[in-house]
Structure 1
Amino acid sequence: MQHFDVIIIGAGPSGSTAGAMLARAGKNVLCIEKQHFPRFSIGESLLPHCMEFLAEAGLESALQQQAGELGFQYKNGAAFLKQGMYTDFDFTKKFGAGPSTTFQVKRAGFDKLLADEAEKQGLQIRYGISLIALDNSDDALTKLTVQDEQQNTSQLSASFVLDASGFGRVLPRLLDLELPSNFPIREANFCHIKHGITSPTFDCNKILITVHDQHDDIWFWLIPFSDGTASFGVVGKTERFDSKLSHEENLWQQLQQTPKLAELLGNAKPVNEARNITGYSASVKQLYGKNYALLGNAGEFLDPVFSSGVTIALRSASTAVPLVIRQLNGEQPDWEQEFSAPLRKGIKTFRFFVEAWYDSRFQDVIFSTKRNDGVTAMISAILAGYAWDDSNPYVAETARRMNVLREICIEFS
């Protein structure tokens, strides 16, 4: 039985980042990944806060160097469109410290880039390997049963296990940690397109989020890449879509009901088959346990509307790794107070903004013409991923501040 200091499940952004950090600290780390890279994934619009964690793991310079050849698009903000009303948030004018720009990335290339760079730093990755059973009854080590693509099984052991399996949610399933999300069941229909946009006013440096003309709870994402393609998708409750139609037909039908966006994408053509994810929001009973911790989407996923998924994933890796190292060195970290509680604090901030988006409170603020520069800078910081910054009043007192602001926006609209 091969033994490792740490075994990581999943080689996506949180797994590669955690693996690189642990390898740089001299730990013997193995990452097992069910799929083979490159592989398609969504979550393509990074937030600037991500760049801090990539730099910490020694991965940012490779991203900067290879962004152009991989078709990644420089990103400096977020734009919103609703019934012809356009507004945007410039992250370079955000409140607080930290990077203010990032990239919109094709995840196939981005995830492979991070994994390859993590391997260069000492992380071992085995592709085509699935975890099928886990035994953590022993206090000192965890036994893992893994299976390859020919159905051959083998045994591994680790002093600590990090679950970075994303929507696969491997440990939550094996250890009965899953909890239903309190969000309504929504679905996303999406594909990559050759966008064909000719409008001189279109800002390719920002993700464009468009509200459906007839239903405020349906929205579209448009994430341009530097090679003339884009990620395009629509999100709404399942009952908003026609189950008799294909994913592609549902996507284009919703687009035609939103004329301004349809006009912008008048020349758009799909470059791959439309896909669907339904019931993606998820939660867990706990984010850690005996000799394990959950990273990113394996722990909790809210909603794609503000592109928080990769940020939470990288933040969770950055928070967990120093605790793992301390535990491997014989200390006893307080995983509740040092990992779960602080991580959930930022998730709670994002959660409020997601809820306020769908009940239109945040939409009222976004599309108000009465926002002052100071408030706009504070909201920009949260949209840039800085949901843990208590010096920002909209993080420290999220609900009270937002509800008051919304009332002001409505009163003077």
Structure 2
Amino acid sequence: MSELDRQIDIVVIGAGPAGAVAASLLNAKGHNVLVIERQHFPRFSIGESLLPQCMEFLAQANLLDAVHRHADQHHFQHKNGAAFVHAGRYSEFDFRQKFSDGHGTTYQVQRAPFDHILAQETERQGVEIIWGHTLVNIDQDTSPARLTVEDEHHQTYTISAQFVLDASGFGRVLPRLLQLDRPSNFPSRTSLFTHIEDNISDDGFDREKIRVTVHYQHKDVWFWLIPFAHGRCSIGVVARSEFFDGRDEDLNRRLADIIADEPSLKTLLANARFDTPAREITGYASDVSQLWGPNFALLGNAGEFLDPVFSSGVTIAMKSASLAADVLDRQLRGQAVDWEAEYAQPLRAGVDTFRAFVEAWYDGRFQDIIFASQQSKEVRAMISSILAGYAWDTNNPYVKDSEHRINVLAELCRLS
């Protein structure tokens, strides 16, 4: 690339969902946006079960129609809820029966084509994406910020940008370059997963819901089963790292053995064909000392990632993109903004709601709630809203006062 010292309003690092939403929103407001993406799409990514709240953000960014148009071609599976299984017990939530306003359905997607669709539509709207380039240094103490970028031939060039949005996900570009990483307070866990031809013949199996199975012996070990629309699914197990100690070193055999040891999955997947190499991610929980600073802000997983249990990652990423785009647009138009009050605090409020439910999942309180024999229809609707991604709806008592209400409800369920 021959350009040196390009003058750009906004540089977005990463062309995934957060980057695409942020870039599309800011481009629509008339700003000059450049996206720098290290990889070439399509490429594999995890996080395949979207939440209905995502549809709101895709619509805001004028990306939703493109997703709908390509859904059948790429076997996106309509999703209307979540099902939970443990030792013969079954509970399901229909996201259309929720407390909050907004979409009640979404898709379960293979992320390679999904992310590619969003990126292509972002480009079609007029945003430039530079593929195969990596941000290797940033001087964000200057105004504008000065970025050093390396292309695939290891040639470097510089870009001057008024603002940088880091949507690099687990690549966590700015946290590494600016030393913003700090230890997460979540225990280190490992995800082991793959895609399979599921061959599920059970007529009672609902392909329009993600299925979360709690290990029959260990309540803090769980499996996801995410069906796609062409007889395939994503399946994985999440556990503390020590759960995998002493097991087969071959990841494919290890995962197959663990699934075969779980009675309900062994029956459901009796005819499944494991035809894709398994993958493993360890210690994925992450946090940072700050979500914004001079000339930059962190979006989605570049800032904080909790846990995959409620599929909140893509929703949080898109919410962060929507919030940041609004604040940044006003800033670049000369208005006074407060990134802490208008971006970091509102974003963390919803993340903290998810955090309360994730913590309650692993210590068993939320499992006691969802598998309780007697359940209030009104309370189920409130919980369904959070599972559907509406973790910023403060009209919902289980958003406004998550920890206290979870504690009270779990105690009532245990006594019933």
What band does the TM-score fall into relative to the shorter chain?
over 0.9
Q: Deviations along 1:170-205, whole A, 9 cap, x unmatched?
A: 000000100111111100000111011000000000
Find the counterpart in structure 1 of residue 412 from structure 2. 408
Moved more, 256-265 or 33-42: 256-265
**Equivalent runs, 1:113-132 vs 2, <5 Å:** 113-132=117-136
Distance 2:151 2:211 in 1: 41
Shift of 1:212: 0.7
1:154 paired to 2:170: no
Number of aligned residues: 411
Distance 2:383 2:392 in 1: 13
Distance 1:137 1:163 in 2: 16
Unaligned runs of 5+ in 1: none
Q: Deviations along 1:116-170, whole A, 9 cap, x unmatched?
A: 00111111101100111000121x2011101111111111110000000000000
1:319 paired to 2:361: no
Shift of 1:86: 1.0
Distance 2:314 2:404 in 1: 27
Q: 1:143 aligns with which of 132, 143, 146?
A: 146
**Equivalent runs, 1:45-124 vs 2, <5 Å:** 45-124=49-128
Find the counterpart in structure 2 of residue 37 from structure 1. 41
Shift of 1:253: 1.9
Detail structure 1 runs of 4+ shifted over 4 Å in the superposition: none
Distance 1:15 1:247 in 2: 32
Q: Deviations along 1:66-103, whole A, 9 cap, x unmatched?
A: 11111100000000000111110011111120111000
Distance 2:404 2:25 in 1: 38
Q: 2:399 aligns with which of 391, 395, 405?
A: 395
**Equivalent runs, 1:358-397 vs 2, <5 Å:** 358-397=362-401
1:283 paired to 2:287: yes
Distance 1:58 1:93 in 2: 26
1:192 paired to 2:192: no
Q: What amino acid is the match of 1:80?
A: F
Tell me the SS of whatever aligns to 1:233: strand
Q: Deviations along 1:383-406, whole A, 9 cap, x unmatched?
A: 000111111111111111111111
Shift of 1:246: 2.2
Tell me the SS of whatever aligns to 2:194: strand
TM-score, normalised by the number of residues in structure 2 = 0.98
Kindly indicate whether the alpha-carbon contact (under 8 Å) linking 1:189 and 1:248 is maintained by their aligned counterparts in 2: no
Tell me the SS of whatever aligns to 2:96: helix
Q: What amino acid is the match of 2:306?
A: L
Distance 2:330 2:219 in 1: 47
Q: 1:225 aligns with which of 223, 228, 240?
A: 228
Find the counterpart in structure 1 of residue 176 from structure 2. 173
Shift of 1:242: 3.0
Distance 2:259 2:147 in 1: 46
Give % identity: 55
Find the counterpart in structure 2 of residue 353 from structure 1. 357
Q: Deviations along 1:291-325, whole A, 9 cap, x unmatched?
A: 10000000000000000000000000000001111
Distance 2:205 2:249 in 1: 31
Unaligned runs of 5+ in 2: none
CA RMSD of aligned residues (A): 0.8
Shift of 1:252: 1.5
Distance 1:342 1:128 in 2: 33
